[in-house]
Structure 1
Amino acid sequence: MRRIAGALLLCLAGCGARPPAAITAPPPPEALAAAPDWRRLATPADRDRLRRWYEAWTQALAQARPVAAADLAAQGALFTIDAALDDPVPPAGAYRCRTFKLGRKGKAGTGFTAYGWFDCRITVAAGGAAQLVKLTGSQRQVGLLYRADPTRAAFLGTLMFGDESRAYGYGADATRDVAGWMERIGPRRWRLVMPYPAFESTLDVLELVPAE
């Protein structure tokens, strides 16, 4: 099963801004049918992270508010825990996206960091699953979205750094694995909430809005 998950996510690197090398082909339909539930694809560590999403939110906000209360309030629903609406998966297309890091891991981090806008894309993968690729920036998520309930979709993916043109297979390196919840928080606004990332923060939030 882990080999299936790795193949699913490794193939997505081809959607990046740079030509990938030796990308694995999409899995056959029977492989997708054998494991439609994200829980069967997720590593134990990622299942645990996703279960503890509310805990991560409350810890991150408590750490971020002393240094960035005005910044948090200015973004409205983006940092409201219970803001999720129906239809969590963004339609296929081009998006602008930006990352916010809330909280800190140990002594690292400032408690709140906001990055500028970069390019993301939502496309349709083999079997009809939606795939998210962050195309630009020094840390780029690539992975698949699995609808979990009416207001959330689970994201399982990996991180690409710097000038890398190929994604690690999911599950190959715990420091690269990314797990999160995709939620719609407005008519044309989504967020990917990533609890307990490997580096720097307690919670990462990737905001997505359609590219104009």
Structure 2
Amino acid sequence: MRILLALAALTLAACSTVPGSAPVRSSTDWRQVATSADRTRLRDWRAAFAKALSQAKAAGHGGEVASEGKLLEPDAAIGQVPIPNGRYKCRVIKVGAKSPGLLDYVSYPAFTCRVSQEKELQGFNKLTGSQRPSGIIFPGDSLRQVFLGTLVLGDERLAMQYGRDPDRDLAGWVERIDGNRWRMILPYPHFESTLDVIELVPEQ
């Protein structure tokens, strides 16, 4: 019952048309909010990372993977959490095809994202683009934080409530990988790829 209440309380906000990211939640512990499927995805992030890199390299994208340096190195996290609030240039890289016929490596140009304070937690919203993660960043451990959210598609104005549709749910790790550079790792997203990596660089 506590988990159901927590899921009901995690109503995720709109994209750029609505200022806030989420209302008050009943728990600040991500383990009390995450679905069973998302706890599994978070646990298996390294397997997803290794599989995705293997797929990309096998498809001839080894040079592109290498050129990204720490961004696509599984153990690049260097700590210093939480990620600072503010606006970021966020670049999405999709690594590994989820099914035959899809691309094994796609790097998109940078869009705008925002990290904002949400009571004791932080909200994350990708503000532009056709696929926009929207959700909450929770405390994790000394190296990383946990992101739980949903995917806003196309011209949708509001994000779906987390836990309502498993195909829209997102779960990932937020890590600092350089002096002023972070990434969000999203293992086994339900659309297109084996792994999504979002590079986060503060806007100047």
Q: Give the TM-score normalised by the residue count of structure 1.
A: 0.89
Deviation by residue 1:23-53 (Cα, 9 ceiling, x = unmatched): 997227xx2xxx3321111001000101101
Matched, 1:54 2:46: yes
Extract unaligned runs of 5+ from structure 1: none
1:19, distance to aligned residue in structure 2 (A)? 4.2
Residue in 2 that maps onto 1:7: 9
Matched, 1:121 2:114: yes
Residue in 2 that maps onto 1:27: 24
Supply the AA of the counterpart residue of 2:139. R
Q: From the two aligned structures, give the one with the greater helix fraction.
A: 1
Three-state SS of the structure 2 residue aligned to 1:58 is helix
CA distance in 1, matches of 2:46, 2:18: 38
CA distance in 2, matches of 1:109, 1:167: 26
Matched, 1:91 2:90: no
1:8, distance to aligned residue in structure 2 (A)? 2.6
1:166, distance to aligned residue in structure 2 (A)? 0.5
Residue in 1 that maps onto 2:157: 165
Residue in 2 that maps onto 1:74: 67
CA contact (8 A) 2:21 2:124 kept: no
Aligned Cα root-mean-square deviation (Å): 1.8
Residue in 2 that maps onto 1:17: 16
1:132, distance to aligned residue in structure 2 (A)? 0.8
1:70, distance to aligned residue in structure 2 (A)? 1.2
Deviation by residue 1:107-138 (Cα, 9 ceiling, x = unmatched): 14211011111000000002x20111000000
CA contact (8 A) 1:60 1:203 kept: yes
CA contact (8 A) 1:9 1:158 kept: no
Query: In structure 2, which of residues 121, 127, 130 is the aligned counterpart of residue 135 of structure 1?
Result: 127
Gap change, CA 1:19 and 1:25, over 3 Å in 2: closer
Identity of aligned residues (%): 44
1:18, distance to aligned residue in structure 2 (A)? 2.0
Supply the AA of the counterpart residue of 1:17. S
Three-state SS of the structure 2 residue aligned to 1:149 is coil
Gap change, CA 1:182 and 1:108, over 3 Å in 2: farther
Deviation by residue 1:40-79 (Cα, 9 ceiling, x = unmatched): 1100100010110110011000001132111111111000
Q: How many residues align?
A: 201
Supply the AA of the counterpart residue of 2:163. G
Three-state SS of the structure 2 residue aligned to 1:116 is coil
Gap change, CA 1:73 and 1:38, over 3 Å in 2: same
Deviation by residue 1:69-109 (Cα, 9 ceiling, x = unmatched): 11111111000110001124321111000110000112142
Supply the AA of the counterpart residue of 1:172. R
CA distance in 1, matches of 2:145, 2:122: 10
